[in-house]
Amino acid sequence: MTVTFEQFAVARLPSLLRYAVVLTGDHDLAQDVVQEALARAQVKWRRISDADSPEAYVRRMVLNEYLSWRRTWAFRNVHTVGERLVDINDARGGVLDHADGVVEADELWSRLATLGRKQRAVLVLRYYEQQDDEAIAELLNCSPATVRSHASRAIKKLRLSEQQNRIHAEEKS
For 58-79, give the secondary structure using H, E and C: HHHHHHHHHHCCCCCCHHHCCC
**What does pLDDT average to over the chain?**
81
Is the model's pLDDT at 4 over the cut of 90? yes
Do the beta carbons of residue 46 and residue 148 sit within 8 Å? no
Give pTM, 2 decimals.
0.70
Question: What does the pLDDT read at residue 98?
Answer: 54
pLDDT band at 84 (very low <50, low <70, confident <90, very high): very low
pLDDT band at 41 (very low <50, low <70, confident <90, very high): very high
Burial 143-173 (b: 16+ CB within 10 A, else e): eeebbeebbeebeebbeebeeeeeeeeeeee
Question: What does the pLDDT read at residue 83?
Answer: 47
Under CATH, to which class is 1-78 assigned?
mainly alpha
Q: How do the domains of the chain map onto residue ranges? A: 1-78
State the average pLDDT over residues 90-107.
58
State the average pLDDT over residues 157-162.
81
